[in-house]
Chains A and B, each alone.
Chain A
Amino acid sequence: MNFAANVLEEIDRIVARYPRATSAVLPVLHVVQREHGFVPPEAKAWVAARLDMPPAKVEEVLSFYTMFHRAPVGRKHLQVCRSLSCNLRGEEEITATICRKIGIDPGGKTADGKFSLVQVECLGSCGTAPMMQVNDDYHESLTPRRVEELLEEWSR
Chain B
Amino acid sequence: MSAGAPPPFRPVLTARCGKPDSHRLGTYLADGGYQALSQALALQPAAVVDKVKASGLRGRGGAGFPTGLKWSFMPKEKTKPHYLINNADESEPGTFKDRLLMEKDPHLVIEGTLIGAYAIRANHAFIYIRGEYYHAYTVLLAALEEARAKGYVGKNILGSGWDCEVILHRGAGAYICGEETALMTSLEGGKGFPRLKPPFPAAAGLYACPTTINNVETLANVPFIMTRGPEWFAAIGREKNSGPKLYCLSGHVKRPGVYETAMGISLRDLIDVHGGGMLHPDRPLKAVIPGGASVGVLDASEIDVPMDFDALRAKGSMLGSAATMVLDSSACMVKALLVNCRFFAHESCGQCTPCRVGCDWMEKIVHRIEGGEGRLEDLELLNDVASRINGQTICPLGDAAAGPVPSYLTKFRADFVHHIDNHTAVCLPKATASR
Question: Which residues of A pack against B, CB within 8 Å?
Answer: 17-27, 29-30, 51, 53, 57, 60-61, 64-68, 82-85, 87-89, 120-129, 133, 136-138
Contact = CB atoms under 8 A, between A and B. Distances in A.
Contact of B132 (A53, A61, A124): A124
16 contacts: A23-B187, A26-B186, A30-B131, A57-B190, A65-B173, A65-B192, A66-B174, A84-B93, A84-B336, A88-B327, A88-B331, A122-B175, A124-B132, A126-B256, A127-B96, A127-B256
Contacts of A17: 165, 167
B189 A124 contact: no
Contacts of A67: 131-132, 172-173
B229 interface: no
B94 interface: yes
A29 B256 CA distance: 35
B134 interface: yes
Nearest to B192: A64
B91 A60 contact: no
Nearest to B346: A121
B258 interface: yes
* Max count, chain B CB within 10 A of own CB: residue among A21, A22, A126: A126
B142 to A, nearest CB: 15
B95 interface: yes
Given A26-B189, A84-B93, A88-B252, 5 more contacts: A26-B169, A26-B171, A83-B94, A122-B93, A127-B258
Interface of B: 81, 90-96, 98-99, 124, 130-135, 165, 167, 169-175, 186-192, 207, 248-252, 256-258, 289, 293, 323, 325, 327, 331, 335-336, 339-340, 342-343, 346-347, 349
Nearest to A67: B173
B343 A83 contact: yes
A64 B96 contact: no
B256 A128 contact: yes
A58 to B, nearest CB: 9
Contact of B134 (A19, A23, A129, A136): A136
Contacts of B187: 23
